[in-house]
A and B are shown apart, each in its own frame.
Chain A
Amino acid sequence: MDILFTGLLLGGTYALIAMGLNLQYGMARIMNLANGEVLVAGGFGAFWFWTTSQVSPLLTVFVVAPLAFALNWLIYVVILRPLVKRAKSRGQLETDAILTTFGLSFVAVGVMLAVFGGDYFSYSYLARPVHFVGDTYGLNRVVAFVSAVILCGALWLWLYNSRAGMSVRAIAVAPDSARLVGINVPRLSALAFALGGAITAMGGALVSMFLTLDASTGVIFTLKALIIVIMGGVGDIRGTVVAALLLGVLETFVARIIDPGLTLAAAYLLFVLILLLRPQGLLGKSRS
């Protein structure tokens, strides 16, 4: 019971992070391997505001989001759009995007190392126990989960109840046809990419409330988010949520029962099973 709830709490924040990546990969068609660094940067922001001026991470989220949005929009327009234009095929764009975002991720790690140093950073915020069905949980985890649920809900409403959201979903399904029905694909791709970055950074600020981060942990989060996105189905928001919760529970289970050092191994086990059994994603329809 205890494991299940802790896992779900963790999975909720994973869902938020993976949604950010899903917007970038599923909708904007850029495999962004620098995603984890955006997350760590968001976490740094929350850490910095809390330790210097005791600003609650829940408020920092609203500072981090527009900054990350602007930064990711710039990255897309300046660095990635030329690649989209020059790519002759989806495969070539993928290879180019992978190499470029790797480059960006290393540059980001290098810059963060230079600015903040290589230390782990963590702070104590709302580290009080709450009691629920006979067990105790950290209040910060609960608060992070609730915030993640609210943000996910807002994103879902935007995607399914607004014109821009519908256009973005249309791009995810058929990027070439979307243009034919008057959707401004370049502009909305940039929007989706920037929004994805903003959501990931918010996720980072929330995660930093209860996890210890350092400048080079980004890649682990990138990997987890990627595995969740593939597991849930690329471009599929519901699948992402289910997959994130599943990963959260499995990871907590493995960490508690077997060894805390094996969390990535657990994620990989899920990944391999999905690749072998349902490569189209948990909820995806089979395509041949």
Chain B
Amino acid sequence: MTRTEIQQVALAAALLAAAACLPFVSDAYLLSIGVTIAMYTVLATSWALFSGPTHYISLATAAFFGIGTYVTGMGIEHLPYWLLLPIAGLIGAVLAALVGIATLRLSGVYFVIFTLGLAELVRQIITWFQNISGQKGLYVLTAITEEHIYWQLVGLAALVFLTGWAIWRSRLGFAVRILGDDEEVARHAGINTARVKVLLFMVPGAVAAITGAILAPRYVYIEPSIAFTPMLSFQVVIMALLGGTGRLWGPIVGVIPFTFLWEAISGTFPNQTTLLLGLSFLVIVYLLPKGFVGLMQSARNRVNRREGFA
């Protein structure tokens, strides 16, 4: 590790520790926003690990998240809670691998289309099972409080950042960067592009499933239409792209303002949230193609250039 890297790791650790102190100083409302922000930070950051370098828009977040909530919902009666999180992660990773194997060998469009309907597909299958078995929803009754959920999410966020950083330094990360720049070149350099993409896609799959498993106790009552809201996938995409996927900390820059904006809009005009989603997409494509991170970078470049001339 170089000196700057140690500094960066120390800074990240300090920020996470500060974030973990939130429950001690805030009221219930602020904490619930904290949970939301922590949740989207985890989801958007892990999303960007895959979709940033590969440019494949994954809309599968809601599917993995919903599966995670169902793992907790169905398993809480039979297994200890702490065992459920790794199980959810494992199922998420396996499902991501299956989806990846089926679609990632081909053009990116097939992948997008497949993930677009994945949440709805899983929802239909679970609803069908429930119709057959005659059982409707699931109750998740635990002693887990909002604070516990928050700390688990902050811990998971730390894990995601660490994973992202480790991947960045590894051979896999190197392969991914080449692949993102030019797939043709990557293939000629002997990189098994399909395998790299599938491996990388397993990360957001596992993380989203674990996030769902962590948040299940918050819902108390789980049914397919709550667990698999398609909106979630789109919100994650918007937040990550708004922040910028070029840096590990990029998505969080989008998560925080968008969460507050979303809270404000859904509080005052609850029916206009779809409109907000739509306009956000257009803003990203036309005004912020590289996100806030890209904006900061070009501002810094401009300053540097001016100083260089002076």
With a cutoff of 8 Å between Cβ atoms, the chain B residues found around residue A264 in the complex are 117, 120-121, 124
Is A129 an interface residue when CB atoms closer than 8 A count as contact? Answer: no
- From A223, A275, A276, A279, B116 is in contact (CB under 8 Å) with A223
Is B138 an interface residue when CB atoms closer than 8 A count as contact? Answer: no
**Whole-angstrom distance between the alpha carbons of A154 and B131 in the complex?**
44
Q: Is the CB of B125 within 8 A of A275?
A: no
| Chain A residues within 8 Å of B, Cβ to Cβ | 31, 33, 82-83, 91-92, 94-96, 98-100, 102-111, 113-114, 118, 216, 219-220, 223, 226-227, 230, 258-259, 261-265, 267-268, 271-272, 275-276, 279
**How many whole Å from A283's CB to the nearest CB in chain B?**
18
Closest B residue to A31 by beta carbon equals B109
Tell me what chain A mostly uses at the interface: helix, strand, loop, or mixed: helix
Q: Is the CB of B128 within 8 A of A106?
A: no
Is B151 an interface residue when CB atoms closer than 8 A count as contact? Answer: no
Q: Is the CB of A107 within 8 A of B275?
A: yes
With a cutoff of 8 Å between Cβ atoms, the chain A residues found around residue B284 in the complex are 99, 103
Q: A95-B108, A261-B128, A279-B106 are in contact. Are A106 and B120 (CB under 8 A)?
A: no
Q: A94-B109, A113-B271, A230-B110 are in contact. Are A223 and B278 (CB under 8 A)?
A: no
- From A82, A83, A109, A275, B103 is in contact (CB under 8 Å) with A275
Q: Is the CB of B285 within 8 A of A105?
A: no
Q: A96-B285, A100-B281 are in contact. Are A223 and B113 (CB under 8 A)?
A: yes
Q: Is the CB of A261 within 8 A of B127?
A: yes
Known pairs A94-B109, A107-B274; list 10 more (Cβ under 8 Å).
Answer: A31-B109, A100-B285, A102-B281, A106-B275, A110-B274, A113-B274, A227-B113, A261-B128, A262-B128, A265-B124
Residues 263 to 310 of chain B near chain A (Cβ within 8 Å) = 271-272, 274-282, 284-286
**Whole-angstrom distance between the alpha carbons of A276 and B131 in the complex?**
30
Q: Is the CB of A276 within 8 A of B102?
A: yes
With a cutoff of 8 Å between Cβ atoms, the chain B residues found around residue A111 in the complex are 275
Is B114 an interface residue when CB atoms closer than 8 A count as contact? Answer: yes
Is B194 an interface residue when CB atoms closer than 8 A count as contact? Answer: no
Q: A99-B57, A103-B282 are in contact. Are A110 and B110 (CB under 8 A)?
A: no
**Whole-angstrom distance between the alpha carbons of A99 and B242 in the complex?**
12
**How many whole Å from B268's CB to the nearest CB in chain A?**
15
Interface size on B, residues (CB 8 A): 38
Is B228 an interface residue when CB atoms closer than 8 A count as contact? Answer: no
Q: Is the CB of A99 within 8 A of B285?
A: yes
Tell me what chain B mostly uses at the interface: helix, strand, loop, or mixed: helix
The count of A-to-B residue pairs whose CB atoms sit within 8 angstroms is: 114
With a cutoff of 8 Å between Cβ atoms, the chain A residues found around residue B127 in the complex are 261
With a cutoff of 8 Å between Cβ atoms, the chain A residues found around residue B278 in the complex are 102-110
Q: Is the CB of B271 within 8 A of A98?
A: no
Is B234 an interface residue when CB atoms closer than 8 A count as contact? Answer: yes
Is B112 an interface residue when CB atoms closer than 8 A count as contact? Answer: yes
**Whole-angstrom distance between the alpha carbons of A94 and B55 in the complex?**
10
Q: A110-B275, A230-B113, A268-B117 are in contact. Are A100 and B282 (CB under 8 A)?
A: yes
**How many whole Å from A30's CB to the nearest CB in chain B?**
11
With a cutoff of 8 Å between Cβ atoms, the chain B residues found around residue A108 in the complex are 278
| Chain B residues within 8 Å of A, Cβ to Cβ | 55, 57, 102-103, 106-110, 112-114, 116-117, 120-121, 124-125, 127-128, 131, 230, 234, 241, 271-272, 274-282, 284-286
With a cutoff of 8 Å between Cβ atoms, the chain A residues found around residue B112 in the complex are 31, 98
With a cutoff of 8 Å between Cβ atoms, the chain B residues found around residue A94 in the complex are 107-109
**How many whole Å from B66's CB to the nearest CB in chain A?**
15
Of A33, A98, A111, which is in contact with the most chain B CB atoms at under 10 Å from its CB? A98
**Whole-angstrom distance between the alpha carbons of A103 and B242 in the complex?**
14
Of B275, B282, B285, B286, which is in contact with the most chain A CB atoms at under 10 Å from its CB? B285
Closest A residue to B282 by beta carbon equals A103
Of B57, B275, B279, which is in contact with the most chain A CB atoms at under 10 Å from its CB? B275
With a cutoff of 8 Å between Cβ atoms, the chain B residues found around residue A113 in the complex are 271, 274
With a cutoff of 8 Å between Cβ atoms, the chain B residues found around residue A226 in the complex are 113
**Whole-angstrom distance between the alpha carbons of A48 and B108 in the complex?**
39
With a cutoff of 8 Å between Cβ atoms, the chain A residues found around residue B55 in the complex are 91-92, 95
With a cutoff of 8 Å between Cβ atoms, the chain A residues found around residue B102 in the complex are 272, 275-276
Of A83, A98, A106, A271, which is in contact with the most chain B CB atoms at under 10 Å from its CB? A106
**Whole-angstrom distance between the alpha carbons of A96 and B284 in the complex?**
10
**How many whole Å from B57's CB to the nearest CB in chain A?**
6
Q: Is the CB of A265 within 8 A of B125?
A: yes
Q: Is the CB of A275 within 8 A of B110?
A: yes
Of B125, B128, B278, B279, which is in contact with the most chain A CB atoms at under 10 Å from its CB? B278
**Whole-angstrom distance between the alpha carbons of A33 and B230 in the complex?**
15
With a cutoff of 8 Å between Cβ atoms, the chain A residues found around residue B125 in the complex are 262, 265
Closest A residue to B277 by beta carbon equals A106
